[in-house]
Amino acid sequence: MSSELVRRRSGCGRRIAVLALLAACLGPAASHARVYLSVDEALRLVFPGCAIEHPTVYLTEEQLARARRLADGPVQDAIVRPYRARCDGKPGGVAYLDIHRVRTLPETLMVAVAPDGRLRRVEVLSFREPPEYKPRGPWYRLFDGHALDERLRLERDIPIVAGATLSSQATEKAVRRVLAIDQVLREASAAEKGKSPK
């Protein structure tokens, strides 16, 4: 066997060993990862037949501070990418993606808000923790119709799910964060309209 062939085989063996090691390390996390809905699928579910705009909005420091107070929690990103729906020519609501860590791995929620600022729907797009840590679908429907107030708290109107405490907490924080951002944006839009000439 030529020395070149030996080098090639040993190099291939090292690559296989590295890939096997990566698979062993990443395998458990990768096996739990699950995508439930794409963004487009979730938008069609929440806003069927509606036209969607997807602008980029930049929050000011004052708006960020207000959103944090309203959410009673962290709001870190000043760049917001809302999905604004128009249904039959009228505002149909706004959806936001919220990506956050549950325990050690990320989850992506789509949180949709009705034109009156109440929560319209929460959809899980992806969940990378073990599936037993994810609450069942009916639990997410308990958020529907809620405003950003003190009733929108775990152990008040929303029960904690046994065995999925961290997921419950992460969802509550995400929903409050989205409703706070939406309220700040609606206030800014109302102020801007107030400044516009009649």
Residue-number span of the structural domain to which 21 is assigned: 1-32
Instruction: Give per-residue pLDDT as tens, 102-127.
Output: 999 999 999 999 999 999 999 999 99
Nearest CA-CA partner of 173 in 67, 95, 64, 80: 67
Query: Do 26 and 122 reside in the same domain of the chain?
Result: no
| Identity at 182, one-letter amino acid code | D
Query: Do 63 and 140 reside in the same domain of the chain?
Result: yes
Higher per-residue confidence, 66 vs 1: 66
pLDDT-derived band at 192, boundaries 50, 70, 90: confident
Query: Do 68 and 18 reside in the same domain of the chain?
Result: no
| Predicted TM-score (pTM) above 0.85 | no
Lowest average pLDDT, out of 25-39, 159-173, 179-193, goes to 25-39
Q: Other CB atoms closer than 10 Å to residue 16's CB: what's the count? A: 10
Query: Do 39 and 27 reside in the same domain of the chain?
Result: no
Torsion of CA 178, 182, 185, 187, to 10 degrees: -130
Query: Do 1 and 73 reside in the same domain of the chain?
Result: no
Instruction: Give per-residue pLDDT as tens, 139-177.
Output: 999 999 999 999 999 999 999 999 999 999 999 999 999
